Chain A
C-alpha cells in the first residue's frame, strides 16, 4: 500500500483513531469523576463531532448511551448557531437545556472545539447525567414537576473556558446551583479532562497526517456509512408502515399517552413521521425533538449489520418529522425530565413496531421499564452530608428477546453502557442496605427467544436520618411488548414499607414519601418481551429454563407447550407429548 494521503487504509486509520480517542475520553471520565453515576452506572457518553462550516456530524463515539450521543449532535450544532465564528481553540462550551440543544436538564454536554482546516472543526464532546442541578427536587426526578424551571438550573450554550482559561464566575454559577456542589465540581472537571484528552489526541492526529488528510478521513467515514445504509435501505420494500406504543400515564392525570409513527421506506431514504401522536402533556414525559430523534435512531441502528459505522452519515438518510406541541416534540416550557427513557423508550418501541413489518428478524425491545426511585437525605456517617442517589439497579434490568438470542438482562438498548450499580459500593456511599437484588423466577416475556426476567430489589434505610423518596412507575399497564408473536414482559410496580401495616403499592407515582431508618422499599421491574411464538421455542431450551428456574413447569406446559416428566435426575422432556401439545397449538 502506497500510504498516500487519501488511500483507504489511511482513511480507515483516521476513522478508527476517532473511535479510539472516544474510548479513551470515556476511560478518563470513568476514572476521575466522583459520583457513582459515573464509575458505577456509566451514565455518560463520549464522542467526536465534525463541523464542516454549516452542519455538525457525529463521526465517532465510544460504547456508550445511544440516546445520549445521537442527541448530542444538536448540542454541538447549537454552539455554532449561537457563537458563529466566535469559536476558538481552547474554548470549552456547556449546555444542558432541553430547548437549547439538550435533552433533559440532568444531561450536561461539554464540548471542546479544535480547528481542523479553514472553516472546519473537530469537537470532542461528552454528555453526562449529573447528580443534582438545583430545581424543586433533588436529582430532578419528581412526578410533581410541571414546567422546565422546576426541573433545575437551565444552562443555555455558554463558554465555560475562554481560549484555555476557565471563567471562574460561570464555573461557580453552574456548580453553585447544585445541592452537591463539591461532587459536581469533581464530575465537571472529569468532563473537562475527557474533552482535553480528545483535543490532544486530535491534535496529534492532525500533526501526524495533516489537517487535509484528517478532514478527508472524516468525510470518508461519513460517506462510507451513508453508502452502506443506503444499500441496506434499498433492500427493504418501499412502503409506509405504522407503529404505536402506549405509556400508562404522564404522572399528571393523563392516561394512555400514545406515540404513533409511520415509517416510510422510499428507495434509499427513511421518513419517520410522528403525525397523530398525542399532544404534549402536563407531566414530565415530553420528549424534545433531539431526544425523540435519538430514540428513533437507536431503533434503526438495531436493524443494522454490525459493520456499518455509527455516525451521521446514516442520520442524513433519515428524515424525522414530529408535530410541534406533541408529546414527541413539545413546546417550552413543557417538563421533560423523564423523557430520556419515558417517553423516549416508547418512541423506540413504536418505531420497532413499524420496522417489525418488514425486518422482523431485526427487531426487539428498545424501551425500558423504569421504576425511578430517587432517594435523598442526610448521611450520619459522613457528618450529616446531603446525599442523592438513583436506585439504578431497579431501573435498567430489562432486555427483550430477539431473533437468535434470549434477553440478556442487565442491559437495555437505549442506555447500552449503563450497568447495575454494585450493592456494596452503593451501601458504602449511601445510607441504605440491600436485602434483595435478583431476577425473579418465572417472569420472562415468553417467546421463541424469551425476554429477561423481572428484577426485584428490596432495600432498607439505615443511619439516623429519614430518607425522602420520589417514585415513578411505568410499564405497569403496558409492559414491554413482545415481537413477531412473542409475549410482553412482566409489569412493574413498587412497594413502600412492604409487609407492614403501612404497606403502599405504587403502580404510578409517589412524591416525597419520608421513610424512617429501618423502613424498606421494594421494587419489581418488569422483564423484557419475547420474540416469536413461545410454542416455537426449542423444547431443550425450555427444559434448561425450567432447570435454571427461569420458567416453571406449569408455564412450560401452558405457554411453551412443552411437556415434562419426572426423570431420575429431575425434570425431563416428554417429546411425544410435547409434539402433541404443539400440534394442537399450531392448529
Chain B
C-alpha cells in the first residue's frame, strides 16, 4: 500500500479486506464507503471510500466530514458511552455502481448529517478521488518502499517505555508492546487496534522520513489486548485522543 503522510494505513488495509469480501463483489467503477471503526474505520467523522483497481488491489480516499448525526454537531462527544452516541455508523455500503452514486446511500448520508450539503459533497469528492486514483494507479509502480528495512535499522537495540494518558507503550526493538494500556473507557477515549497500528506506523514514518506504506507495518510487532483503549471492542466510542497519545508515546520512546 502506498499512501499520503496522514493516511491510516492499517485501517485502509482492514477496509480493503471488507471490500474484498463485499457480497456480490465490487467491479471497477464501483466504490465502497464506510466510517465504521469496527469495519476498519477510525472514528465516525472520518469517511473512507475504496474503489477496486482493474489490475487488482484498491484505491482509497479518506477525509473527515463535518457532521454525521449523533449527539452534537461535529461528533465530538467526550461523554459518549458508545459509538452510536457519537454519530451514525456507516457500515460498508456500495457508494457507487459503474461510476454513479447510489441514490439510496446519498439520501441516507444527507438525512443523517446536520450539514447535508457538506457530507454529500465530501462523499462525492472522495468517490471521484478514489475512482481517479484507481484508474491512474493502473499504470503506476506500486511496489512497497524501504520502510521495513528502515524501521528495523532504526529500532535495533532500542528499549524504552512511555506513558501518555491511558496509553502505556514499552518499546523493545521492533516490538511495540501496548498491553499495559488501560481498559477501554466508557467515553470516546478509545481506538481500535487498526487505528493504533496506523498511529504507530505514521509516527515511525514521520520520524524516519520513509514512505508511509505497508512495509512500515510489516517490520513491526504491535502487541495489544482486546478491550483496552488501544484495542477497543464494539460498540466503544472512538472519537477521542488515543491515536494522538499513541503517536506521542512512540515519539517519546524514539527519544
Contact = CB atoms under 8 A, between A and B. Distances in A.
B90 interface: yes
A35 interface: no
A518 interface: no
B20 interface: no
A156 B112 CA distance: 9
A17 interface: no
Given A158-B104, A169-B94, A153 B82 contact: no
* Range of interface residues on B (Cβ < 8 Å): 20 to 34
Interface string A56-74: 0000000000000000000
Contacts of B94: 169
B112 A154 contact: yes
A377 to B, nearest CB: 11
Interface centre among B23, B36, B108 (most CB of A within 10 A): B108
B218 interface: no
B111 interface: yes
Interface in A164-200: 167-170, 172-173, 176-177, 179
Contacts of B114: 147, 149, 333
B255 interface: no
Contact of B112 (A82, A149, A159, A168): A149
Contacts of B23: 168-169
Contact of A157 (B84, B90, B107, B235): B107
A177 B111 contact: no
Contacts of B84: 134-136, 153, 177, 179
A158 B105 CA distance: 8
A170 B23 CA distance: 11
Contacts of B70: 135-136, 149-150
A156 B88 contact: no
Interface string A75-99: 0000000100000000000000100
Interface string B63-97: 00000011110000000001011001111111000
Nearest to B110: A156
A155 interface: yes
B91 A172 contact: yes
A170 B84 CA distance: 17
Interface string B86-126: 00111111100000000011011011101000000000000
Nearest to B83: A134
Contacts of A141: none
A101 B200 CA distance: 47
Interface string B11-50: 0000000000011100000000000100000000000000
Given A136-B71, A150-B71, A333-B114, A173 B90 contact: yes
A130 B88 CA distance: 17
A391 interface: no
Contacts of A156: 104, 107-108, 110-111
A383 B93 CA distance: 31
A34 B174 CA distance: 49
B89 A134 contact: yes
A173 B93 contact: yes
A137 B85 contact: yes
A159 B36 contact: no
A82 B111 CA distance: 14
Contacts of A273: none
A136 B92 CA distance: 22
A100 interface: yes
B109 to A, nearest CB: 10
A97 B198 CA distance: 36
Given A158-B104, A179-B82, A179-B84, A169 B93 contact: yes
Contacts of B110: 156
Interface string A98-141: 00100000000000000000000000000000000011110000
A179 B82 CA distance: 9
A155 B71 contact: no
Interface centre among B22, B105, B112 (most CB of A within 10 A): B112
Contacts of A167: 104
B88 A169 contact: no
A173 B107 contact: no
A154 B93 contact: no
B203 to A, nearest CB: 31
A55 B112 CA distance: 28
Contact of A134 (B36, B72, B88, B111): B88
Contact of A170 (B36, B82, B104, B235): B104
Nearest to A149: B69
Interface in A327-344: 333
Contacts of A150: 70-72
B82 to A, nearest CB: 7
Given A149-B114, A176-B89, A154 B69 contact: yes
A208 to B, nearest CB: 35
A153 B88 contact: yes
Nearest to B80: A136
A177 B93 CA distance: 13
7 contacts: A134-B88, A136-B85, A154-B69, A154-B111, A156-B111, A179-B84, A179-B235
The 10 closest A-B pairs by CB, nearest first: A134-B84, A149-B69, A176-B91, A168-B23, A156-B107, A169-B93, A158-B104, A136-B71, A154-B111, A172-B91
Given A97-B111, A156-B104, 8 more contacts: A135-B70, A136-B70, A147-B114, A153-B112, A156-B108, A158-B104, A168-B24, A173-B91
